[in-house]
Structure 1
Amino acid sequence: MAECKRSSDADGAPVTEEELEQALSVLAGSDPENCSYSRGYVKRQAVFACNTCTPNAAEPAGVCLACANKCHDGHDIFELYTKRNFRCDCGNGRFGDFQCQLTPAKDEENSRNRYDHNFNGCYCTCDRPYPDTDEQDDDEMIQCVVCEDWFHSRHLGCTVVEPEELQEMVCETCMNKAPFLWTYAAHFAVPPVINISHPDEDIEVDVEEEKGEQRQTKEEEPTTSNEHIKHEEAENRSSPCKRTYKEMTGSPLKATNKTVECRLKELQAQGLDRLRQGAVFWPYSWRSELCTCTSCKKAYVAADVQFLMDQSDTILAYEKKGLVEPFGQHPLMALTSSLDRVQQLEVIYGFNELTTSISAFLEQFVSEGKTVTVEAVHEFFEELRARKKRRTNAGHQ
C-alpha cells in the first residue's frame, strides 16, 4: 500500500498491528545508536525535526534517529518518516549554540539537503499540522514518492482506491513537473475515477452518450445492428476508461520484430491518454516499466526524478532491508519477551517518541525480576500521552 498516516494515531486511539509493524520497520532501517552524519547523504533514513531547537521556519533542519533519541530526548519532535539523500543536521549552524552529543564536529550546513514545510510540522496542500487539533475529520495521509510530502486523501484531487497491489502515489504537482509520467500512467497506473456531473458515474459519461446515439442509429438501421454491436465492443476495449486494472498493469508491451529504442516514444505512438488531473496511484512494479534509454535518462535528471530508475529507492525496499538486515537487534524486543505480539509492538511504537524512558521503564522490571504486565504498560503509555499533551498545550500558550 501507499504509505499512510492516520490522524487517530496521534490522539490516543489504539493503532493497529500493521501500523505498529510499519513504524518498527522504518526505525529498523536506521541506526538508533550512532549519528548517521559520517555516512554522508544517506540514500534513505528515518528523519526527525526538533521544534524545540529549530522553531524558526526560515531555518528548517532534520536529525537522524540516533540524534532524535540521544540529543533531543524529551523535545518537541516532528516525525518525518523517511527522507532520501539526507545528511543529519544535528548541532550544525541551523541549531545555534546547540551541540550534537554524538558527532559534535559538523559542517555549518548540508547544502544538498532538501527541506519543505514538513520540517515545520505542516503537511499537504492545506499546509496544516499533523496531528491537527482543529480538524475533526479522521482522514488518512498518504505520502508522495517524489516530493515526499504527505497529503490528506481528500486533497489528492482523485478518488482514493486501495487494492492490495497499490504501492506508490505521485501527487498531481509532481506529475506535472515530470509530464512524461502521464504517458506511463495511461498504460500502467490505476485508471482514474473522475466524477463529472453524476455521483455514481465516472469519465465514461461521454461514452454513454455515444452509446445512446448508436442505439438510435440501430433503430433506424436494424439490418446493421450486429456491426454496431461489434463496433461498440471494440471501442469499449480501446477506451482507456474501459480498461481493467489487470489490462492497465499486467503485461509489458508485446515484442516486435524491431528493437524499440525508446519505450516512451513507443507508448506515445499508441495514442493512449488519460485525464491529466489528480494524484496517480501505481502498482509496485511500475518503475520497471520506465524507459532507460539515454534520452529518457536525461529527462529524468532534468525533472529531478532520476531516483525513479532505482528499485531500491522505494519505501518498501527500505523497510524490507531494515527488517532483514537491521542495524542490530532492537533493544526492546528481548525486554518485552513476556508480552504477546500486539503488546510488544505497542511498546516498540513508543520508541518513536521517548526511547530512553521506555528502556528505563522495562529495565526496572528486569532488574527486579518482575514480569511486565499489561496494566503496567498501559499505565506507562497513559503517562507518555499526558506528557505529550502538556507539551502541546504549553506550545499553544
Structure 2
Amino acid sequence: MAAIKDDADVDDILADEEELVKALCVLAGSDPENCSYSRGYVKRQAVFACNTCTPSAAEHAGICLACTNKCHDGHDIFELYTKRNFRCDCGNGKFGEFKCQLFPAKDEENVRNHYNHNFSGCYCTCDRPYPDTDDQANDEMIQCVVCEDWFHSRHLGCAVAEPEELQEMVCEACMNKAPFLWSYAAHFAVPPVISVSHLAEEVEVNVEEGAEKEEDSEPGQSRDEEPSTSTDHAKQEEATNRSSPCKRTHEEMAGSLAKATTRTVACRLKELEVKGLEKLRQGAVFWPYGWRSELCTCTSCKKAYVAAEVQFLMDLSDTILAYENKGLAEPFGQHPLMMLTNSMDRVQQLEVIYGFNELTTSINAFLDQCVAEGKTVTAEAVHQFFEELRARKRRRTNAGYQ
C-alpha cells in the first residue's frame, strides 16, 4: 500500500472517508434482511426503483433495501436515497405476476405513497438521469428536504453557498408551496439575503408625516423659543424626540413596533414578520441544521403546515442527519468496514479506507468497461480482475522496499 505523502492526501482521504460513511449511513438505517412492508409507512428508509420490473413511467413503484437485495438481485435498479412515509411496493399490483419473496401477502396498492420522476431514474427541473452521460458539466446534485427531488446546483436559481454550509435545502417550488417559509428565510437561511418589506417603508412614512403634522399644529411656536412652563418644556421635548431623526431613528421606531407586538402576539411567525425583513422570493433556500426548531408551532401555524403538506418540518427526527445517526446506533447499521477500523490507530484506519476507496473505484471501472463493451460479467472475468489487482499490489509493495 502506498504511503500517505502529505496533508493534502490526508484531507482527500478524510473527505472520501466522510462520503463513504454517509453512503453507508443511508443503507444502515434500513434493514437489509427483512421487507419493511410489515412496518407500514416507514418514517424514513432507503428506497429503490426497479426499471426491470416496473419500467413504465405511468406506474411508479418503490422497493425497500431487503427486497432490492433478495427479490431484484441483478435487475436494473435506481437508487433513490431515502423517502419519508413510504411503504414497500415489491410484488403488489404494480408488478403483475411478480411476487415478493420476503412478504408476498401485500395489498394491491399503497395509496399513501408519494411518487415523482425519480422513480423513473430522472431528476431535477431538467428531468435528466443521474449519472448523465450526455452532461459534461460534472455538476453536484442536492436534495430538497420537502419534495425530496434532486437538483443540479446550476438549476437551483440561486448562488450556492460553501459546501460546509449546505445543511438542508428547500427548492423554490416548495418554498412557494409553503410561502410562510420566506419569512423564516430572512432570518435563518444561509445566507439570509433580505429586502426591506412594505412594513418598514410604512413605518418610515408615518414617522415623517407625524413630524410634519406636529410642526403645523403650532405655527407660531419656534423650536428655539423658551417654553413658558416646565410642562410645556416636557411636551416640547417629547415632540422633538418623536419627530427628529437625530433623537429617534426610523429603525428604532420599527424595533419598538416589533417589541410592542411581541407582547401581544404569541405566534413566532408574526413576530418575525413585523420586523420588516423578507427574503427575496426567488431561488432555492439553504438552511443550517436546527432551523426547524425556529418554526412556530401555534395552532394557526400548525394548520398552515398541514394545508401545505409540510407538517413533517415540525419533526426534528425527520431530517437525514437524524436518520443516519439512528442507523449507526442500530445493530444492522454496524458495517463490517466500520467495525474493523474501530480497533485500529489513525494511520491504519486511513490506509484501510484508502484501499477500500481504491478497490471500489477499480470495481466500478471494471463493470463500466464490461457494459461499454457489451460483455457478460462471468466468474472467470471476475477472477482475472482480482488477480490483476493482486499483481498491482505486489508491484507497489516491492517498489516500496527498493
Could you state the TM-score of these two structures normalised by the residue count of structure 1? 0.69
Structure 2 Cα separation of the partners of residues 301 and 168 of structure 1? 20
Structure 1 Cα separation of the partners of residues 252 and 127 of structure 2? 41
Q: How does 1:156-305 map to 2 (within 5 A)?
A: 156-162=156-162, 164-191=164-191, 258=263, 260-305=265-310
The code of the aligned residue for 2:368 comes to: R
* Inter-CA distance 268–381: structure 2 relative to 1 (3 Å threshold): closer
Query: What is the match of residue 316 of structure 1?
Result: 321
Runs of 4+ in 1 over 6 A off after TM superposition: 234-239, 253-257, 334-339, 346-349, 390-393
Residue 320 of structure 1 and its aligned partner are, at CA, apart by 1.1
Structure 1 Cα separation of the partners of residues 338 and 107 of structure 2? 36
Q: Do residues 35 (structure 1) and 18 (structure 2) align?
A: no
Query: What is the match of residue 384 of structure 1?
Result: 367
Q: Which of 1 and 2 has greater Rg?
A: 2
* Inter-CA distance 30–238: structure 2 relative to 1 (3 Å threshold): farther
Query: What is the match of residue 25 of structure 1?
Result: 25
The code of the aligned residue for 1:188 comes to: F
- Structure with a larger share of its residues in helix: 2
**Secondary structure at 2:167 match in 1:** strand
Structure 2 Cα separation of the partners of residues 52 and 158 of structure 1? 37
Query: What is the match of residue 249 of structure 1?
Result: none
Structure 2 Cα separation of the partners of residues 92 and 392 of structure 1? 33
Residue 33 of structure 1 and its aligned partner are, at CA, apart by 0.8
State whether residues 327 and 333 of structure 2, in contact with CA within 8 Å, keep that contact through their aligned partners in structure 1: no
State whether residues 24 and 335 of structure 2, in contact with CA within 8 Å, keep that contact through their aligned partners in structure 1: no
**Secondary structure at 1:284 match in 2:** coil
State whether residues 51 and 76 of structure 1, in contact with CA within 8 Å, keep that contact through their aligned partners in structure 2: yes
Q: Do residues 82 (structure 1) and 65 (structure 2) align?
A: no
State whether residues 123 and 151 of structure 1, in contact with CA within 8 Å, keep that contact through their aligned partners in structure 2: yes
The code of the aligned residue for 2:366 comes to: E
Structure 2 Cα separation of the partners of residues 179 and 384 of structure 1? 46
State whether residues 30 and 326 of structure 1, in contact with CA within 8 Å, keep that contact through their aligned partners in structure 2: no
The code of the aligned residue for 1:383 comes to: F
Segment drifting more, 281-290 vs 322-331: 322-331
Structure 2 Cα separation of the partners of residues 332 and 39 of structure 1? 28
**Secondary structure at 1:16 match in 2:** helix
State whether residues 193 and 279 of structure 2, in contact with CA within 8 Å, keep that contact through their aligned partners in structure 1: no
Alpha-carbon RMSD across the aligned residues, in angstroms, is: 3.4
Segment drifting more, 270-279 vs 34-43: 270-279
* Inter-CA distance 163–122: structure 2 relative to 1 (3 Å threshold): closer
What's the CA shift string for 1:25-73, capped at 9, x where partnerless?
Answer: 1111110111101000000000001111110000011110111111111
Query: What is the match of residue 227 of structure 2?
Result: none
What's the CA shift string for 1:137-191, capped at 9, x where partnerless?
Answer: 0100000000000000000000000263441000000000000000111111123
State whether residues 156 and 283 of structure 2, in contact with CA within 8 Å, keep that contact through their aligned partners in structure 1: yes
State whether residues 158 and 192 of structure 1, in contact with CA within 8 Å, keep that contact through their aligned partners in structure 2: no
Between the aligned residues of both structures, percent identity stands at 74
* Alignment gaps of 5+ in structure 1: 1-14, 195-202, 205-229, 240-252, 350-373
Structure 1 Cα separation of the partners of residues 184 and 126 of structure 2? 28
What's the CA shift string for 1:240-276, capped at 9, x where partnerless?
Answer: xxxxxxxxxxxxx989983641111111111111210
* Inter-CA distance 67–254: structure 2 relative to 1 (3 Å threshold): farther
* Inter-CA distance 315–378: structure 2 relative to 1 (3 Å threshold): closer
* Inter-CA distance 345–60: structure 2 relative to 1 (3 Å threshold): farther
Query: What is the match of residue 384 of structure 2?
Result: none
Query: What is the match of residue 64 of structure 2?
Result: 64
**Secondary structure at 1:258 match in 2:** helix
The code of the aligned residue for 1:33 comes to: E
Structure 2 Cα separation of the partners of residues 126 and 35 of structure 1? 33
State whether residues 20 and 346 of structure 1, in contact with CA within 8 Å, keep that contact through their aligned partners in structure 2: no
Structure 1 Cα separation of the partners of residues 154 and 128 of structure 2? 13
Segment drifting more, 285-294 vs 96-105: 96-105
**Secondary structure at 2:80 match in 1:** strand
Query: What is the match of residue 144 of structure 2?
Result: 144
Could you state the TM-score of these two structures normalised by the residue count of structure 2? 0.68
**Secondary structure at 1:46 match in 2:** strand
